[in-house]
Each structure stands twice: as structure tokens, then as C-alpha cells.
Amino acid sequence: MLTKKQHQLLLFIDAKLRDGGVSPSFDEMKEALDLKSKSGIHRLITGLEERGFIRRLPHRARALEVLKLPEGVVPPRLDRMAGQVADFERPARAGRGMPPAAAALESMAMLPLYGRIAAGTPIEAFRDTSHTVAVPPDLLGPGDHYTLEVSGDSMVDAGILDGDVAVIRWADTAETGEIVVALVDDLEVTLKRLRKRGGTVALEAANPAYETRIFGPDRVRVQGRLVGLMRRYN
């Protein structure tokens, strides 16, 4: 997972490269991120390089290449930021005077993307903390959150489609009827509606093609509650 400053620097470098094909200077990066010394920029660049987001081009001063952006982030273009490149290079305090695209990114919450979660046949989840997703803060409430990419069609009647990004609030308990991330037998993870039936736990699909699965309470652990969805239209 990227820190807020790493994320800001990555987008700044990418925007400069897209605009003019030249990496920003350390002074430009220091000023854009409102840092007091260039040593902080060196540490951020090293962190981005170690995580595989950028690489330094050999034998060329100031030469950086962006290899990838965080999952779900649409790169801003300097020539579309209110027509004022200087505003992006020298953002005002607390976002004042920033172009709309830069200000919007500044306000986004960067959440870890922990991989794909089955909304059909359960699959084992994995955690790759090198990927993050920009999430509007309005989707979030109190507590810690993460995201998962939905795989499958078993929750379509609940409006959850294959390829959606599910925003999850960390929790180890849930009320009956809530849609949760459920860990089954400590091996497989699925997104289903939780139903408590006497001494059992039912994981209920929202698609008549899928059967409800029923387990003993010691076989299912809640890993979070669904609080929002993000969807990209091509």
C-alpha cells in the first residue's frame, strides 16, 4: 500500500511525463508536495521504485519512468487541469487554488486492494498491499476499510456485478441479513449475505442459480461488512 505522499508524488511524476515527456526536478517535486528537503523526495522515490511503480533510467539525469499506477486510478492530465500547469506544480495549502482534478485526488482515500473475492464459488483471498484504490470519502464511515474486486455473478440480484470493487469495513461480527466477507474453514473467502439460523450460519447468494450454504458457527468468520461499491463503465 502506498502512503499518501508516495501516491501524490507518483501522480505528479506521471502527469509531468504525460504533459512534456520530462521528469520533474527534485525542486519541483519538493515544492509540489510541500516538503522541506530533497531527502524526503529521495526516500519517496526509493519507496516507489521498491514497490515497482517507477524505475530510474540509467545514464540519464532526472530520468524516471512510471511503470504502473494504483489500481482504479485514472491519471490526471496537466493540460486538462483548468489549463493551469503552474497550479498543479505549486498547489496551495489545504487544496485551495488547486485544479479540480488535483483537488479531487487530494480528497480521495487510498485503500488497499486485497485481490479478487468470489461472488460465486468461493476462492482463497490474497493480500497484495502494493495495490491501492482511490475511494470517495463519502463511501466510508468510522473504522478501517479495504477493497476487494468481485469475481462471479452470485450476487447480481443485490446489484453486485462481476468486476465491481467492493468497499469493505473491517469487522468480525455482523447482523443477520448483512452482506459480508466470510472466511470459511480458514481457507476460502466469499462475499455473501449472512443469515443466522439457530446454531448455524447460512451464506446466502442473491442469484437463484446458486444454493445457500449452511455451516456450523465455528466454520465461518466474518472479515468485514460491505459498505459500498465502485464500478467502471467502458
CA distance 192 to 118: 9
The reply to whether 38 belongs to the active site is no
**Residue ranges with strand state E in the chain:** 54-56, 64-66, 109-118, 132-135, 145-151, 165-169, 179-184, 188-197, 200-204, 213-215, 220-230
Helices (H), 71-183: 85-89, 100-107
- Cell numbers given for 97: 487554488
Closest to 27 (Cα-Cα) out of 17, 14, 48, 42: 42
Please say if 154 is a catalytic residue: yes
Show which residues are catalytic.
Answer: 154, 192
